[in-house]
Amino acid sequence: MRIALYQPDIAQNTGTLLRLGACLDVAIDIIGPAGFDMSDRALKRAGLDYLGDVEWRRHISFAAFEAWRRERGMRLVLATTKAERPYTDLAYHTGDIVMMGRETAGVPDAVAKVADVAVKVPMRDHRRSLNVALAAAMIVGEALRQVAMGNASPYG
């Protein structure tokens, strides 16, 4: 299971998701360009002392990420407020990548069209969205729960 961050804008959210990945053994893909300094020093500060405990990789662009993903045959699950399907109505698999859009703009339509499936976190009317790290934690938590029901343990 992986989480992909599409051109993240906020270093603290990226750090939170790196920490989530370390704690839950979920790999993180960061698709550039990011809206903040992506140097090792900046990422170490954002990821605190968890950066060494998470499998993560940078992709210079969405095209580079997409080529890498397709080569591995992984399903792309897009989290978006524009989806019709609630995240709890999808059957997740260990090879899924849950992609989160930019905090300020989500993903462009061309990126959304590439996704194999789109899901949303249902919310009350007249609310724009949840924090990207919170939404990712909810969706990946459900995905890990489902994987655990089919396997002895999703954690190895």
Query: Do the Cβ atoms of 27 and 3 come closer than 8 Å?
Result: yes
Least confident window among 2-6, 35-39, 116-120, 151-155: 151-155
Quick count: other Cβ atoms within 10 Å of Cβ 17?
Answer: 26
Please enumerate in sequence order all residues whose Cβ is within 8 A of that of 85, keeping only pairs 6 or more positions apart, or say none: 117, 118, 119, 120
Q: What pLDDT, on the 0 to 100 scale, is given for residue 152?
A: 41
What percent of the chain is predicted at pLDDT more than 70? 90
Q: Which residue ranges form the domains of the chain, and what is each CATH number?
A: 2-150 (3.40.1280.10)
Q: State pLDDT tens for residues 21-79.
A: 999 999 999 999 998 887 666 666 666 677 889 999 999 999 999 999 999 999 999 99
> Which pLDDT does position 42 carry in this prediction?
63
Q: Do residues 85 and 119 touch, judged by C-beta distance below 8 A? A: yes
